[in-house]
Homo-oligomer: A and B are copies of this chain.
Amino acid sequence: MKRTKIKDLLNTTDFGQEINVQGWVRTFRNNQFIAINDGSSINNLQAVVDFTNTDEAILKRITTGAAISVTGDLVESLGKGQRVELKVTKLEILGDSDPEKYPLQPKKHSLEFLREIAHLRFRTTTFNAIFKVRHALAFAVHQFFHEKGFVYMHTPIITGSDAEGAGEMFRVSTIDFDNIPRNEDGTVNYKEDFFGKSTNLTVSGQLEGELAAMAFGEIYTFGPTFRAENSNTTRHLAEFWMIEPEMAFFDIHDNMDLAEELLKYVIRYALDHCGEELEFLKGRLLEEEKQKPQAERSDMDLLSKLQFCLENSFERITYTEAIQILKSSKPNQKKQFKYLIDEWGADLQSEHERYLVEKHFKKPVILTDYPADIKSFYMRQNEPDELGRNTVAAMDILFPGIGEIVGGSQREERLEKLEKRMHDMHIPVEEMSWFLDTRRFGSAPHAGFGLGFERLVLFVTGMTNIRDVIAFPRTPNNAEF
């Protein structure tokens, strides 16, 4: 008999059918009521066992975590909390779960504990909800770009280029630590390594993305990227997924429009398709915030915050304007910022970004035209301002609670200016000749940005630790499972 998914049953009114359901026991009450979950929904199906006609030995095996197959009639439920239930006529234990040993009991577990059993935490309602939202967001990203005619590119994970400049890298190698090939001068002979050169894990697909954009017009990547940085924070991962669109013939304004449209599209998609999950996560967040002092709680609940992002235009201001606002802000005047804003040129910290978004504008903010000195070599150089200060056509989108969620720029398409900047920043121009070819042959204005996928999931699910929105987080000293 064909199995039916619980998600398809919970909203049916087609009673009286004989149904087979397979899933895992969440709870078993009164020797009679099994709450069964098959992963298709965050909600359970209630299956009612006729315990008078069921073998005692079987009943004892209906424990939390056990896998079972139940067949019976679907009937309208008279109990509270569900519309339908299954009157069991046949029950089979597929796999036992020893209640003395099973780590997940029907009670609240801390997120810290669940992180240690990341291979089992998927079986909780919280993580079912998180990963359903994560799925919906990933699908929405693909659908958004597909509908616009963008080409999905798989840029390389292993890279021989170390000039991306976005952070520390992991080496990829097949060289045996106990038998390192050396050149005559004692340096490592990477010619003996798998790729015949020193290779690393990519920190960004942008440079390769630019090559594709200068042929296909509009492309995006969605793949893993890596940082070998020793950051043990709630916002950093050593391995994370990033979305990087790159568009020929786009200037910085087109770029901002696209990023804002993308963020709104995927948030709306999650609201439209994950209503139950987000409602559950809203409740979870409210519970979590009850533990916090009043002053640290959010002004808005999760759903209101998401709606709020959809309803407001993102505020677009220049870095120079932001510095003015921050300089004269209360926390700066009262020296409450850890890093006081003193003068133009300072790099903004998370506390400043959050002040702008959460206190000053109370909506997402796009900061543009940063000082050239604190930004990457490939960003387009603006004309110096009236004080002769050099800025680049960068754009960062700041979100409440998260800080920077998108970082992008119009790219420097002028060969001479780009080469000069690379020289100044000690970037090996020779090695990057392939990248410069886009500027040598048919260069054109173009732009792009990077969206950290886990930061997006963190924002939409209202979770507070990035390790809770990726299946098996990789962080310093942690590569379990």
Whether the pair A476, B194 counts as a contact (CB closer than 8 A) is yes
Complex interface: chain B residues within 8 A of A472 (CB): 155-156, 208
Q: Which residue of B196, B439, B481 contacts A478 across the interface (Cβ within 8 Å)?
A: B196
State whether the Cβ of A477 lies closer than 8 Å to any Cβ in chain B: yes
Q: How many residues of A contact B (CB 8 A)?
A: 104
Q: Which residue of B175, B208, B228, B441 contacts A174 across the interface (Cβ within 8 Å)?
A: B228
State whether the Cβ of A197 lies closer than 8 Å to any Cβ in chain B: yes
Complex interface: chain B residues within 8 A of A195 (CB): 238, 474, 476-479
Whether the pair A149, B197 counts as a contact (CB closer than 8 A) is no
- The segment from A210-218, A288-296, A306-314 found at the interface with B is A210-218
Query: Given A65-B442, A249-B3, A471-B155 in contact, is the A201-B217 Cβ separation under 8 Å?
Result: no
State whether the Cβ of A422 lies closer than 8 Å to any Cβ in chain B: no
- The segment from A120-128, A322-330, A331-339 found at the interface with B is A120-128
Complex interface: chain B residues within 8 A of A151 (CB): 39, 131-132, 135
A470 and B157 CA atoms in complex are apart in Å by 12
Whether the pair A170, B172 counts as a contact (CB closer than 8 A) is yes
A138 and B96 CA atoms in complex are apart in Å by 38
How far in angstroms is the closest Cβ of chain B from A441? Answer: 4
Top-8 shortest CB links A-B: A95-B443, A122-B215, A39-B217, A39-B216, A196-B477, A195-B479, A67-B444, A67-B442
State whether the Cβ of A241 lies closer than 8 Å to any Cβ in chain B: yes
Task: From A102, A441, A478, name the one whose CB has the most chain B CB atoms within 10 angstroms.
Answer: A441
A178 and B440 CA atoms in complex are apart in Å by 39
Q: Which residue of B39, B132, B194 contacts A248 across the interface (Cβ within 8 Å)?
A: B39
Q: Which residue of B7, B134, B228 contacts A194 across the interface (Cβ within 8 Å)?
A: B228
Residues of A within 8 A of B (CB): 3, 5, 7, 22-25, 38-40, 65-67, 69, 94-98, 101-102, 119-120, 122-123, 127-128, 131-132, 134-135, 138-139, 142, 146, 149, 151-161, 168, 170-175, 177-178, 180, 188, 194-197, 199, 201, 208, 211-212, 214-218, 223-224, 226, 228, 230, 238-239, 241, 248-249, 413, 434-435, 437-445, 470-472, 474, 476-481
Whether the pair B95, A442 counts as a contact (CB closer than 8 A) is yes
Complex interface: chain B residues within 8 A of A24 (CB): 215, 442
Please list 22 pairs of residues, one from A and one from B, whose beta carbons are closer than 8 Å in the complex, sorted by A's number: A3-B249, A5-B149, A38-B217, A66-B442, A67-B443, A67-B444, A95-B444, A119-B435, A120-B215, A120-B441, A127-B215, A154-B241, A156-B472, A157-B201, A158-B170, A161-B481, A173-B173, A177-B177, A194-B238, A194-B476, A196-B476, A208-B481
